Amino acid sequence: MGAVRRRLTRSGLSGLLVTHLPDLRYLSGFTGSSAALVVTRRSARLFTDGRYTAQAAEEVKASSVEIVSGGPAPAAVQWLAAQVGVEFAGFDPAWTTVAELARWKQALPARLRRNFLTPIAAPLVETLRLVKDEDELRIMADAALMGCRLFDHMLGFLRPGLMENEVAAELEHQARLQGAQGMSFDTIVASGIRSSLPHGRATTARLPRRGFLTLDFGIIHDGYCSDMTRTVYFGTPKPKERRAYQSVLEAQEAAVAAVSAGVSCGDVDEAARSVLRNAGLGDAFTHSTGHGVGLEIHEAPRLGAGQTSRLQAGMVVTIEPGVYLAGEFGIRIEDMVAVTRDGGWVLTPTPKALIEL
Ligand code: ZN
Ligand code: ZN
Whether 86 shows a pLDDT value over 90: the answer reads: no
Q: What 3-state DSSP class applies to 297?
A: coil
Dist. CA 289 → ligand 2 center (Å): 9
Q: How many A from CA of 42 to the centre of ligand 2?
A: 38
Rounded to the nearest whole angstrom, what is the distance from the C-alpha of residue 105 to the centroid of ligand 1?
39
Going from the Cα of 319 to the center of ligand 1, the distance in angstroms, rounded, reads: 9
Q: What is the pLDDT of residue 300?
A: 94
C-alpha distances in Å from residue 79, one per residue of 108, 149, 301: 10, 47, 34
CA of 78 to the centre of ligand 1 (A): 41
CA of 334 to the centre of ligand 2 (A): 7
Q: Tell me which residues have their CB within 5 A of the ion that is ligand 2.
A: 227, 318
Tell me the average pLDDT across 163-180: 97
Q: Which domains does the chain have, with CATH numbers?
A: 2-128 (3.40.350.10), 131-346 (3.90.230.10)
Establish whether the linkage from the previous residue to 301 is cis, with ω within 30° of 0.
yes
Could you tell me the distance, in angstroms and rounded to a whole number, from the CA of residue 76 to the centre of ligand 2?
35
Among residues of the chain, what percentage have pLDDT more than 70? Answer: 100
Is the model's pLDDT at 70 over the cut of 90?
A: no
> Any idea which ligand is nearest the CA of 147?
1
From residue 55, how far is each of 21, 26, 32, 35, 105 by CA, in Å? 15, 16, 8, 12, 29
* Span from the CA of 292 to the centroid of ligand 2 (angstroms): 8
Give residue 142 CA to ligand 1 midpoint distance, Å: 17
- For residue 34, the model assigns a pLDDT of 94
* Confidence (pLDDT) at 262: 98
Q: What is the pLDDT of residue 11?
A: 84
Ligand number, closest to the Cα atom of 186: 1
Weakest-pLDDT range from 10-19, 97-106, 293-302, 304-313: 10-19
The answer to whether residue 276 scores a pLDDT higher than 90 is: yes
Q: Averaged over 125-147, what is the pLDDT?
A: 96
pTM for this structure?
Answer: 0.92
Give the CA distances from residue 237 to residues 88, 195, 203, 257, 356, in Å, rounded to whole numbers and listed in that order. 62, 14, 23, 27, 8
pLDDT surpassing 90 at residue 2: no
What's the whole-number mean pLDDT along residues 328-338? 97
Going from the Cα of 129 to the center of ligand 1, the distance in angstroms, rounded, reads 20
Task: Work out the percent of the chain whose per-residue pLDDT is above 90.
Answer: 90
pLDDT tier at 235, thresholds 50, 70, 90: very high
In which band, very low, low, confident or very high, does the pLDDT at 90 lie, cut at 50, 70 and 90?
Answer: very high
For residue 218, the ligand closest to its alpha carbon is: 1
CA of 232 to the centre of ligand 1 (A): 15
Q: Is the pLDDT of residue 339 over 90?
A: yes
Question: Residue 93 has what pLDDT?
Answer: 94
Neighbours of 299 (CB within 10 A): 19
CA of 6 to the centre of ligand 1 (A): 34
Burial of 57 (0-12, 13-18, 19+ CB in 10 A): exposed
Q: How far is the CA of 95 from the centre of ligand 1 (A)?
A: 23
**What's the gap in Å between 227 CA and the centre of ligand 2?**
6
- Indicate the pLDDT class of residue 302, thresholds 50, 70 and 90: very high
Q: Which ligand is nearest to the CA of 214?
A: 1
> Counting ligands in written order, which one lies closest to the CA of residue 303?
2
Task: Report d(CA 321, CA 85) in Å as an integer.
Answer: 50
* Residue 111 CA to ligand 2 centre (angstroms): 46
